[in-house]
A and B are shown apart, each in its own frame.
Chain A
Amino acid sequence: MGLLTSILAITIRAGTSLIYATVGEIFTERSGILNLGVEGMMLMGAASAFVAAYYTGSLFAGVLLAMVTGGILAAIHAFLSVSMRANQVVSGLCITLFGSGMASFLGQRLGPPENRFYLVGLVGPRFTPFSIPGLGNLPIIGSLFNQDVLTYIVYLLVPLGWAFLYRTRYGLNLRAVGENPHTADSAGIDVLKVRYAATIIGGMLVGLGGAHLSLAYTPGWSENITGGRGWIVIALVIFAMWNPARAAAGAILFGGINAVQFRLQAAGTTVPAAYLNMLPYLATIIVLVIVTWWETLSKKVGAPAALTRAYIREEK
């Protein structure tokens, strides 16, 4: 019982940043823009959240700045891929490279003079878990309600994100732009505006995911604090088949494998951790194959049809 509870608690804590970023990337990709810059945006989000919270003492300022930097990087990607019609794969990679370089640069430049301008090793404010009265004492699932405030917000974000995509007019427009921009355009939707908005809002959520890392999950700044989470997010989006509701399930699977693996190592099992860690990636490939195969049976479940295609009105 205690084991299960602790695994669940670690899973949720590890999964929070993944869910923020995955929901953000789903919005972006639903509009037809593939943003491979998640890793860079998360790192910049984590760095700027820590800097703002450290100097102002306000966690809110940290979260806000993380969302702004995530949004700015995403806006660069939107400008390149929507307005300048650049290759989205290359542009996204460029954002990752630039973002991770910049985060590492700032991490050695923005600290106080007494710490030789480094951010590493500083202790800043952090989100602490608190129990929700009544729910926090439940057996097993009680650990779901002993979390920090950003995790509680994620519980709301998933259903709201789903409802936005599938139950509102804006969500419908967004999906239309990602499926068939020409049709959406003739229906009077401003394709470029929707794509800009979806990419920037997506980037803000990714930045927020980064903030959870440096303010709650592993408080403080360290080089490569994301540990490749940005790339896991790209996998999760496919795994979730571009649906925010399923993103939570995927993030829990990824987070859970991590948690189980810690436990197994502690218990001294002989199953090499590497094989367990490979599972999510192999599972993603298998899901991708199945999704694609379904598509050929003309059941619409997978990637937005116009993903990675620039919209040029005069070219069909």
Chain B
Amino acid sequence: MRVVIEKRESRSRPMLLIVPVFSFLISLLLAGLLLFISRANPFATYAAMFRGAFGSWANFTETLVKAIPLMLTGLGVLIAFRMEFWNIGAEGQLTLGGVATAWVALFWAQGLPGWLVLPASLIVGMLAGALWAGIPALLNAYMSVNETLTTLMLNYVAILLAEHLYYGPWRDPKGYGFPGTAPLPQSAWLPRLAGRAHLGIVFAVLLACFIWFAIHRTKWGFELNILGKNRTAARFLGIRIERIIVVSLLFSGMLSGLAGACEVTGISRRLQQGLSIGYGYTAIIVAWLSQLNALAVIFVAILIAALAVGGDQVQMVMGLPSAMGLVLQGMLLLPMLAGALFTDYRLLLIRSRIRSGETHRKETPR
């Protein structure tokens, strides 16, 4: 008896849902085992995590606070990944977006009419994010420079720049040495809707709907998909590959820039340490878990944020390391990645050599 992997005629639709759900259950099981080994009750821990993330209105708004940047960066990553452009620079795009937003709000607010300060800050933040994604896009589109590596390198440049600014020239002289700028003027504050959850949630949901529509119902979305599947085919179809790459990446970076802008104007209300805490990397997990579906990003982002918030709660309530949330996030994706095989391929159990000979052309012996 042998196991054979055979390519499916088309992607299996039920598998698109079954695989993530099963992955989630398997990761809960694995993490439960880890908890058990480290002398903690898995059920009590999960219950505490759940209560921490969703137990009260206040906790739920905190989960949303963490989910908003994940939604926006997740959407940004999704657009790039749709055409197999491996943009892992959302972290840097978010950071530079935050820096540019703070720049406008701190140094240009006096010269602008009050109502214009917030929109101008957000827009400049989005432009900065777009710029930071645009550089790797141009290099890739016109010179085929590997985008995974350039986007990654630019993360460090942006983070170092931000650190330099809030530790150095932009540091609040009245801040007792705290690494951060002076507070932004009130005209640049993003309105909060509930608790600390701000208007960014509205942006994220509207953008998710817009992107879902654009990907599934417009020519741009069609071209994006073709580009992802086969660049040569895309060229034969007359798609202007270079332009699509650059335009899509500007949009992708813009979304991450907006995430940074919302963090600065909605949460910290200044540029400070703790802006770049890995949302841009977690975004990749969000995009992947949602199977590159823009509407699913909203829910997956809330789930991942719940793991982080729940992890913090577990530390306070049960004295377990808050890193439990990180471990769970990592474990969540591992079975998911392994399971992705089943959406494109099926496993066949072959009884005898004779029967395996019939399908010989299609199979890979293991």
Contact = CB atoms under 8 A, between A and B. Distances in A.
A189 interface: no
B246 to A, nearest CB: 16
A292 B146 contact: yes
A86 B153 CA distance: 24
Contacts of B144: 292, 296
A274 B285 contact: no
B163 interface: yes
A167 to B, nearest CB: 28
Contacts, number: 146
A299 interface: no
Interface in B155-196: 156-157, 160-161, 163-164, 168
B157 A278 contact: yes
B38 interface: yes
B337 A86 contact: yes
B341 A288 contact: no
Interface in B289-328: 321, 323-328
A238 interface: yes
Given A235-B153, A285-B153, A312-B364, A272 B164 contact: yes
A94 B333 contact: yes
B145 A289 contact: yes
Interface string A265-279: 000000011110110
B152 interface: yes
Contact-residue bracket for chain A = 35 or more
Interface in B317-366: 321, 323-331, 333-334, 337-338, 340-341, 345, 361-364
Interface in A85-110: 85-87, 89-91, 93-102, 104-105, 107-109
B143 interface: yes
A206 interface: no
Contacts of B345: 85
Interface stretch (A50-58, A76-84, A136-144): A76-84
B329 A101 contact: yes
A9 to B, nearest CB: 25
B248 to A, nearest CB: 17
A282 interface: yes
A68 interface: no
A282 B157 contact: yes
Contacts of B341: 84-86
Contact of A98 (B88, B143, B334, B364): B334
Interface of A: 34, 36, 76, 79-80, 84-87, 89-91, 93-102, 104-105, 107-109, 228, 231, 234-235, 238, 272-275, 277-278, 281-282, 284-285, 288-289, 292-293, 296, 303, 308, 312-315
21 contacts: A34-B148, A36-B88, A76-B334, A84-B337, A89-B86, A97-B282, A101-B327, A101-B330, A102-B327, A105-B324, A108-B321, A234-B152, A274-B160, A274-B161, A274-B163, A277-B156, A282-B153, A292-B146, A293-B143, A296-B144, A312-B364
Given A84-B341, A235-B149, 19 more contacts: A89-B86, A90-B333, A90-B337, A93-B285, A94-B285, A96-B281, A97-B282, A101-B323, A101-B326, A101-B327, A102-B323, A231-B156, A235-B153, A273-B164, A281-B153, A282-B153, A292-B143, A292-B145, A314-B361
